[in-house]
Chain A
Amino acid sequence: MYRKKRLVLPFLLPGLIGILMFYVAPFIGGIWYSLTDGSFENAFVGLDNYSKVWQNGMFQLGLKNTMELTFICAPSLFLLSFLLSLLLNRIRPAGGFFRSSVLLPYLMPSSAVLIIWLLWFDYGGPVNHQIFLLGGQRVLWLQGAELRVPVVLLFLWKNLGFCVVIFLAALQAIPVSLYEYAALEGAGFLRQAFSITLPMIVPSAFLVFILSFVNAFRIFKEVYFIGGAYPDEPLYTLQNYMNNMYSKLNYQNVTTAAYIFAGIVFALFGLLFFLQNRAQRGLN
C-alpha cells in the first residue's frame, strides 16, 4: 500500500506544483498584501486594512448591493430553472429542440446581448411601449434603482439555460417506473413532485443552488457594461469596488475586500451545506 502511494506521487506532482504556484502561493501572498500598508516601507499593519475597508462607505455600499442582488437573483434563478426544467421534461413533440434552445443565451456574448437589452429598456423602447399600452407610465429603466430590473432580468435570461440543463439531467435520471408505480398507488402530480422528484434531485438541486449564488455574487459584467466603473449607486457592486481599487493599484484594498467577501461567502456556503445535509437526511 505504502509503495503504491510513493508510485502515485510523481504523477500527482505536476498538478500539485500547479496548485501550489497558482492557487496556494497567490492566496497566501494576497493575505500578506492585505496585512501591509503598500507604501515604500511596506509596513505590517495587522488588521488595519480590514478595519478601514470594512468601514469604507463604498465597500459597504458594494457589499449591500451585491448581497441584495444575490438574494434576488439566486433564488429566482433556482426557482425559475426548476419550473422550466419540469415543463421541458414533459414536452414531448420537439422536446429536444426546446431543451437545446434554452441554452442559447448562455452561449451568447454579454456585450452583444446588452445592446438588444438596452434598446428594449430604453425610455422609448418596446418595454415602455407595452407598459404605456396597458395604461401605465413610462419608466426610466436605465437610471437609478430601476436599472436593477433590466440587470436582474438579463442575468436570469442568460443563466437560466445552464441551470435548466443540470435540472433536466437530474430529472431524466429518475426511473419512469417510480412515477408509474406511484400513479398506480394513486399519487397525484404534487405528491409525485415532492415524494419522488424532489428527493431524487436534491444533490443536483443543491448544485444549481450553489451555482446560482456563485454566479449572482459575480454579477458585474452586466453592471460594468451599462454603468462603467462608477454606475448609479443602486448598481455599484463589490466587484466595482475591487475593480476600481485594482486600477488604482491599491492591492491592499483589493485583497482585503476580496478576503472579507470570501469570508462571507464561505460562511454562507457553509450554512447552505449544513442545511442541505439536514434536508437530505430528512428526505431519506
Chain B
Amino acid sequence: MIGNRKWKKLLGGMLAAVLLLVSAAATASTGDRTLLQTNSETFSEYVERLMIIGTRVYMATSGTTQAIYVYDTRTGQTETFDTTAMNDRLHGLGDEPMLTEDGERYTEEIACWFAWRGEIYAVVYRNINFEDGSDIDGGYVRKLVLADGQASLEETELPQLEWRGMVERNGANRFSRWITGSVCTGEHLALSVYGDSGDMELHIFDLEEGDEETAEIDNLEDVGQGPDGKLLVARIDRRGDSHLIIETYDIEEETTETLAEFEGEYTYNIRGIAWREENRTLYYVTNGEIFAAREGDTENAESVNDCGIVPSSMFAQMTEDGFLAVYRYDGAVIRNTDPSQRGAVTIRIQPFTWSSGANAAYYAFTNERGDISVIREENGDMSTLLQSMMNQDDRIDLYTIDSSSSVYSAIYNRGFMGSLEGSEKIRNLIGQMYPFIQEACQKDGQLVAIPISMYGDAFGYHKEAWSKLGYTDADLPRTWDQYMDLLETLPDKLEGTEYRLFELWLTKQGFRGALMSAIIRKYALTRPDDNFNTPVLQRLLERASKLDLDGLGLIDDEEEEDIFERYTELGGEKPAVLITGFEVPITNYRQEYQTLPLAFEEDEEPVLTVSLGVAFLNPYSKHPEEATAYLETMLENLDTSTAYSFCPDRNEPQRYPDHEEQKKNISRWADEARKSLEETEDEETREQLERSLEAIEKELAEFDEKNWMISPDAIANYRSRAPLIRMDSYDFWSMLYGGENGETFGTLWSGFLEGQKSVQDVLTYMDQKIRMMRMEGN
C-alpha cells in the first residue's frame, strides 16, 4: 500500500513532468528527446512552431508560459528565452500606445516563424480596430534576437510582404488566415494557409521583393523543404480510396514532379514529411514509426525509429545531423533517424481508447527508457482483436480499450490478458483505488488490467440554484418519476428568477433523446435480466413522451443555428438549474453542478454508471517485462482528475500549475487598464475602461476561489456519489445499433423520438432483440 505522501509526490512529479521542458538526457545514446509535452487538463503551454538552423532546433511556444527554446542536437543542451516582454510589446502593452499613421490604435500578432539564411524571422501583422470593424495590415518581417534569457524582435531591411492573400473578410471585419506550415528555400518563403473554402493553399513570397504568388496545388496537406532547392508538398485525395502523393515543387518553373505515392485505408495517417539532402532520403511518420525512403522509394522504406506523437496536425523538420524534430501543438520530440541507434527492444501498443495519461506515459517512458523503443500504432481495427488473440498473435504487446465494449468483454471472459500480479508497483497503485475499479481490473483474483480513464454521464443540478429556489437536499428527486414530477412543477417556480431550467442550447429533440435513452440505459444496467416491456418502463417513457417541451423552455431544432445571435433574448446568461450531460468522474469544469442519481422505484438505491478505459498485456507478448514497466508508467502518469476519481484518499484540492502565472497576468491587465484610465480624457473611452477594470478586478477577487484544477467542491461532490457508482459492463446501444439490425433500430428510434412510433413499438422490439442477444450469449 502506498501512503498519502507517496501519492502527493507522484502527483507533484507528474505535474512537473507534463509542463516543464525536459532537459535530462535520455539514458540511451540515441539522442531521442522530448522537448515539450503539455497536458490536456492544463494546456498552459503549447507549441507554435519549430524552426531549424543546422543542428539547433528553435521551438516557439504560447500559453500562460511562453518562450523560445533552443535545443542543440550536438550538445543535448537547451536554452530558454522568455518571450513575455516581446509579446507584451506586440500586444500594445508597452509604454507607448501603438498608433497607425491615421491615429488608429493597433496591436500586433506573429503570423508565422521561419528560418532563413542562418537567422530566425517572424512575420508580423497589425490588427487595427475601428469603431465599426477591424482591418489587417501584415507582412512585416522581423528578426528574432536572443540575448540574456530574453527574446525580442528587431526591424529588418526586408520589404513588407504582399499580405492581401492572407486576409479573410467577414462583414466589416478582417482576419488573418491560419498558417499551418512555413518553409524557406532560396529567397522564397512558402506558407500553407487555410483558404476561404476550407482547403489549404500554398502562398509563396519573395523575401527580397515582397511579392506573393499562389501555387496551383490542389488538396494540399503539408509542405516542407525538398530536394535540389525545391519544395516538398503532400497532397491527399480522400475521394474513394485515400491516396497520398508527395511531390516536389519547383517555385521558379511552377512545376511539380511526383516523388512518392501511397494508397490505402490509412494514408491519412501519413504525416511529418521531411527531406534530408545529405542522403537524399524522404522521411515520414505513420502508425507510430518514422520511415526513411531513399529517393522517395516508399516500397523499400525502412522503419528507423518510433514517434508517438498523434498524427493529426503533426509536422516535422530535419536537422543537419539527421535528427527529425516532430511536433504538434501539444508536444515536440527529437528522434534519431539512424536505425542502428534504436532501442534494443521494441514494444508495440495499440490504443483503441484515448487517455491523456496514456499519452503522457509515452513521453515519460521513452524519455526514461532509451533502451526501449515504443511504437504506438494508430492504425488498427478493434473488431479483429479477438481473432488476433485466438491466433496467438504476439505483434502487439499492449492494448488500451473501453471496458464496456463487447470486444473487451469477449477478451476478458476468455482470459486473453497477461497477469500483472508480478508488478508490485501496479498492485500497490491499484490497491489504492475504489473497490469497484479494483474488481474491474481483476479476473479470478488476478490483476489483468490497469485503469487509465473513466467515462460516465448523468443528469445534474445546480447546487446553489437549488437552495436559492428554497429546496433542500431532501427535495432532490430520487426516482425517475420524481424527476418527471419536478419537470412539471419547476418551470413555474423559475418565473422571475435568475435561473433557467435547462441549458440554452438544448433542443426539444435533443432533450427527448437524452431523457429516453438515459431511462432505458439505466434500466438495462440495473435490471440486466428483466424484459424491457414492463409497466415501469412503459409508464416512464409514456410520461417522458408527454412532457410539455415548450413549457420546459426548450428550443426547436431549427433555432439551434441562430442561438448565439439570440443569446440575450433567450436568457442565455442565466445558469441552468438542471443539465442533461454531466460528467460522473471528477472534472475541472461546471463544478457548481452535482450529479443526480435516479432509481426506478422508491425502495431502490439510485445509481450512477461509468465505464473505464483500461490497458492490458497481450498474454502472448514476447516482452512482458518491458510492457509491464510501460503499464507502470501509465499508472504513474494518469491525469490528475482521473487519479482523483480512482483513489478515495486523494482529497487535496489542486491548483492549475500556472495558477500564479495566470493571476499575475490578470493583475497586469488590471494595472494596464488603470494606467490607460489615468491617461484617457475622452469620457466615452473612460466609461468603457472603467467597466473593463471593474470586470478584471472582479475576476481577480474571485480568482483564488474559482480557479481550480480540482476544486474542494468537485472532490466533495464526487466522494459523496462514489458509493452509488456501478460499472457499465456492456455497450447496450452498440448492441442495438451494431450489426445488420442497427439500421432498423435507428429508424425505429428516430420515429419514436419524432412521435411516429409508440412506446410499445420500441419496447417490444428491444425486448425481442436484446433478449435474443442475451440468450445467445457470447
Contact = CB atoms under 8 A, between A and B. Distances in A.
A249 B768 contact: no
Contacts of B486: none
A233 B778 contact: no
Given A56-B775, A249-B410, A230 B741 contact: yes
B371 to A, nearest CB: 29
B313 interface: no
B521 interface: no
A230 B775 contact: no
B410 A230 contact: no
A58 B414 contact: no
Contacts of B778: 248, 250
Contacts of A58: 772, 775-776
B772 A228 contact: no
Most chain B Cβ neighbours within 10 Å, of A57, A245, A247, A249:
A249
Interface residues of A, number: 23
A250 B409 CA distance: 13
A232 B769 CA distance: 8
B415 A40 contact: yes
B444 to A, nearest CB: 11
Interface in B372-422: 386-387, 389-390, 406, 410, 413-417
Contacts of B776: 56, 58, 241, 244-245
B769 A230 contact: yes
B414 A38 contact: yes
A217 interface: no
Contact of A247 (B390, B739, B772): B739
Most chain A Cβ neighbours within 10 Å, of B390, B414, B769, B773:
B414
Interface string A26-52: 000000000000111100000000000
Contacts of A211: none
A167 interface: no
Nearest to A252: B414
Most chain A Cβ neighbours within 10 Å, of B389, B777, B778:
B777
Nearest to B406: A248
Nearest to A57: B775
Most chain B Cβ neighbours within 10 Å, of A224, A228, A236, A253:
A228
A58 B776 CA distance: 6
A79 interface: no
Chain B contact patch, size range: 20 to 34
A248 B740 contact: no
Given A229-B740, A247-B739, A249-B386, A40 B414 contact: yes
B744 interface: yes
A170 B667 CA distance: 102
Nearest to A60: B775
A233 B416 contact: no
Given A56-B775, A241-B776, A248 B768 contact: no
Contacts of A228: 739-741, 744
B227 interface: no
B652 to A, nearest CB: 41
A39 B739 CA distance: 24
B387 A230 contact: no
A251 B414 CA distance: 12
B414 A39 contact: yes
Interface in A185-234: 224, 228-230, 232-233
Interface in A221-275: 224, 228-230, 232-233, 236, 241, 244-245, 247-251, 253
A39 B775 CA distance: 20
Contact of B772 (A236, A248, A253): A236
B351 interface: no
B296 interface: no
Nearest to B773: A230
B741 A233 contact: no
Contacts of A40: 389, 414-417, 619
Contacts of B390: 38, 249, 251
A263 B768 CA distance: 30
Contacts of B416: 39-40
Interface in B647-686: none
Contacts of A248: 406, 410, 778
A233 B740 contact: no
Contacts of B772: 58, 230, 233, 236
Nearest to B414: A39
A233 B768 contact: yes
B415 A41 contact: yes
B768 A232 contact: yes
Nearest to B778: A248
Contacts of A236: 772
Nearest to B386: A249
A56 B778 CA distance: 12
Nearest to B415: A40
A110 B77 CA distance: 71
A229 B410 contact: no
Interface in B450-507: none
A29 to B, nearest CB: 13
Interface in B742-773: 744, 768-769, 772-773
Interface in A109-128: none
Nearest to B411: A40
Contacts of A249: 386-387, 390, 410
Interface in A54-107: 56-58
Nearest to A53: B777
A56 B416 CA distance: 24
Nearest to B390: A249
Nearest to B776: A58
B168 to A, nearest CB: 49
Nearest to A52: B777
A57 B776 CA distance: 7
B768 to A, nearest CB: 7
A233 B386 CA distance: 29
Most chain A Cβ neighbours within 10 Å, of B413, B740, B769:
B740
Interface string B723-750: 0000000000000000111001000000
B768 A39 contact: no
B393 to A, nearest CB: 13
Counting from the closest, the 5 A-B pairs by CB-CB distance are A228-B740, A40-B415, A39-B414, A228-B741, A58-B776
16 contacts: A40-B389, A40-B414, A40-B415, A41-B415, A56-B775, A228-B739, A228-B740, A229-B739, A230-B768, A230-B773, A244-B776, A245-B776, A247-B739, A248-B410, A249-B410, A251-B390
Given A228-B744, A248-B410, 14 more contacts: A38-B390, A39-B413, A39-B414, A39-B416, A40-B416, A40-B417, A58-B775, A58-B776, A228-B739, A230-B773, A233-B768, A241-B776, A247-B739, A253-B777
